[in-house]
A and B are shown apart, each in its own frame.
Chain A
């Protein structure tokens, strides 16, 4: 189906080599995985195959057509889903689908059976705008749009970044069915180990070079050992929520949440997309006032003493909330000052942080130029710079490779050892295994709260992944979408 012959691609007038003489082929009817760290060249490869970029050297063909000369024919037989959801946010589900069908000159109705089992999930929200769908729904819609013209080859560039485990599993079930029933060839890039294992074969890229092609279990590095058991003292809670509720109009985003997090604990706050995790977290950080109920963070009421709460917490959001155009040192200095730290203390701690994270070489570089893994570690350093009692991490490792995540979690462990309480949301279940305790949120309520091992025991499951799937699936067979309210 795909033949890649010695292909290379440079950016920035040859200064950056994105792909260096890559060779491999994908057979018809195969599910093929593309694995590699960020910047390994996966996206470039996808774009070359989608005829969006011209190679600087080598040749590639898709379905027997050359991607340079016969690009029009290639475009007819592929379905392409770029990394970001390429949907029109202001069009409804149905309108998006119809439009993409029309782009390929096909009638949406005629080809609907092709995507019937995916579209089934979307059916109830037909008239809802795409920007009001949850992440999982958006992704299903994007997949429908990429499939509506019945392509022979599907190119998926990290289709599951930022998507909860349940939606991810559903997606891969659908892909498998499409592959088995219709013989669709699929090439997918993904940072998730369990997804790579779904592929028949995979290619591993590193810094633009092809490292290996073969069965996924041959290619993937051995799994890291799961975090150790830690003993946490009881009776010293730093986060206490009692009946915490948030409503937007008649939609209840958080429904009477009760939880206690002990000092020094690593607490995993899990849930599907749109379950209300971010809303709950925003209330605990003093960013949003609860509609009902009370919560105390570091001993202060989040509603009436929000400023006191903020003095005692650190926060790291999904997006990198650092200033791209300031250097590492300057970012640290700035946030130190914002938290009212003394200049001498700031200087001392800056040196400490830089030494601890081995950033001597990069300290004078603007943050915008750093690789994503480094940015994440730096964002964490900023969030813990003022020695907060608690750090809130909102999907800190979204869309990065296993190695980078592993190093990030080492930092989390170190911070916890220093006595900082960690409150973290994640879609990676191997990360959930490393937490001392986890809660799983479904439709605004906390449905389970315990240590990973006792949860697994209770549900008779082998991994957190299965626990999560069991709980979320039971409560919420169809998934739910965000309500019509302005995104906070």
Chain B
């Protein structure tokens, strides 16, 4: 037991003395949370509109006024003719253009479009949402009139203000934990190989499991610190709710950390140098970014990628955390995710321990 403690103590010293890496590890989660919390957002906040009003007697003025008054839209230009619209779209001066034809009046004709709406479609999601906003706004009845034929009452559950950080926080957790646990652990083990100290450790009567576990414990602690930082920041600063039980959330997190640590061990048994350990962990980090639903929805991907994503631990973690934190579900709703993570842990750990040699070569 004493051996174990002093081994773990040594690992902590390694971490604490590598100032720059330590700083990056501790600051990275904070920077990411700030970026995702404040700067990176998918909300459609502002649409810049250019208007060409060719209608007779300014009959479109009312609708134009409605656009100008809406906080989602900013009227950036009022042009006499549609000629300059294209240039403005290309240089990014406006996102949407409304052209009211000379025939536009309050009595619509069915034959031809008397109001033309053009939207910059390069970013399709923003374009679709902008078009839908504008449509609804233009179609909405004037005050005092009746509502449209089918009145759509929409309710956004769990996130009524539609804030994107609710969605990003679990993703950031998934990413940070895999970097800290898998990448750092594998680098730490491989470092001993490079320094030649592994040779001495192996030639000692120390059992391999003690070596492995004492290597993992400090990174486990570090990821717990990261986890707490992220949770505190998101809860107190970003007002991301913690709708479900804290207990079940921690359980999911611990399971995920365990999987990531086991993967780190596995990588360290495969790599001979720190550089190759880092390259191998990139093979883990890249799918974590793209195939875990952190930013990109998995459901929209082609079948091959959807099946592939089932192999990415972060996918299950992010899904479970999102449910627990935002939707506030109970344990029985996330048992599937937990089981998958547990199986992944068992597999990675047993293969890792089996490959961890007690001899060289």
Residue ranges of A at the interface with B (Cβ–Cβ < 8 Å): 47, 50-54, 71-72, 75-76, 78, 80-91, 95, 98-100, 102-105, 129, 145-146, 149
Segment touching A, from B6-14, B260-268, B333-341: B6-14
* CA gap between A222 and B297 in the complex, in Å: 77
Contact, CB under 8 Å: A90 / B14: yes
Task: Say whether B122 faces chain A, with CB atoms less than 8 Å apart.
Answer: no
Contact, CB under 8 Å: A47 / B360: yes
Q: Would you list 16 pairs from A and B whose C-beta atoms are within 8 A, ordered by A residue?
A: A75-B203, A78-B203, A82-B200, A86-B200, A88-B14, A90-B14, A90-B17, A91-B10, A91-B13, A91-B14, A91-B17, A98-B6, A102-B2, A104-B204, A105-B3, A129-B17
Contact, CB under 8 Å: B360 / A80: no
Residue of A nearest to B5 (CB): A102
B2 CB to closest chain A CB, in angstroms?
A: 6
Chain B residues with CB under 8 Å of A145's CB are: 200
- Which of A81, A87, A90, A91: most chain B Cβ within 10 A? A90
Residue ranges of B at the interface with A (Cβ–Cβ < 8 Å): 2-3, 5-7, 10, 13-14, 17-18, 195-197, 199-206, 358-361
Identify 9 new A-B residue pairs, CB closer than 8 A, beyond the known A78-B203, A84-B196, A103-B3: A51-B359, A52-B359, A53-B360, A89-B195, A91-B10, A91-B13, A102-B2, A102-B3, A105-B205
Contact, CB under 8 Å: A72 / B196: no
B146 CB to closest chain A CB, in angstroms?
A: 76
B192 CB to closest chain A CB, in angstroms?
A: 9
Contact, CB under 8 Å: A87 / B3: no
Residue of A nearest to B360 (CB): A52
Residue of A nearest to B17 (CB): A90
Contact, CB under 8 Å: A103 / B360: no
Q: A78-B203, A86-B196 are in contact. Are A99 and B6 (CB under 8 A)?
A: yes
Contact, CB under 8 Å: B7 / A52: no
Chain B residues with CB under 8 Å of A78's CB are: 203
A57 CB to closest chain B CB, in angstroms?
A: 16
- Which of B14, B196, B199, B361: most chain A Cβ within 10 A? B199
Residue of B nearest to A87 (CB): B197
Chain B residues with CB under 8 Å of A99's CB are: 6-7, 10
Chain A residues with CB under 8 Å of B3's CB are: 102-103, 105
Contact, CB under 8 Å: A75 / B360: no
Residue of A nearest to B201 (CB): A103
Contact, CB under 8 Å: B202 / A90: no
A41 CB to closest chain B CB, in angstroms?
A: 15
Q: A88-B197, A102-B2 are in contact. Are A76 and B205 (CB under 8 A)?
A: yes
B185 CB to closest chain A CB, in angstroms?
A: 17
Residue of A nearest to B197 (CB): A86
Residue of A nearest to B2 (CB): A102
Chain B residues with CB under 8 Å of A72's CB are: 205
Contact, CB under 8 Å: B197 / A75: no
The 7 closest A-B pairs by CB, nearest first: A102-B6, A50-B203, A84-B196, A86-B196, A90-B17, A80-B203, A86-B200
Residue of A nearest to B211 (CB): A103
Contact, CB under 8 Å: A105 / B2: yes
Contact, CB under 8 Å: A95 / B199: no
Residue of A nearest to B191 (CB): A88
* CA gap between A383 and B5 in the complex, in Å: 51
Chain B residues with CB under 8 Å of A84's CB are: 195-196
Residue of B nearest to A91 (CB): B13
Q: A82-B196, A86-B196, A89-B195 are in contact. Are A52 and B13 (CB under 8 A)?
A: no
* CA gap between A181 and B14 in the complex, in Å: 37
Q: A75-B205, A102-B6, A103-B204 are in contact. Are A54 and B14 (CB under 8 A)?
A: no
Chain B residues with CB under 8 Å of A85's CB are: 196
* CA gap between A50 and B5 in the complex, in Å: 25
- Which of B18, B196, B197, B206: most chain A Cβ within 10 A? B197
* CA gap between A82 and B2 in the complex, in Å: 25
Chain A residues with CB under 8 Å of B14's CB are: 88, 90-91
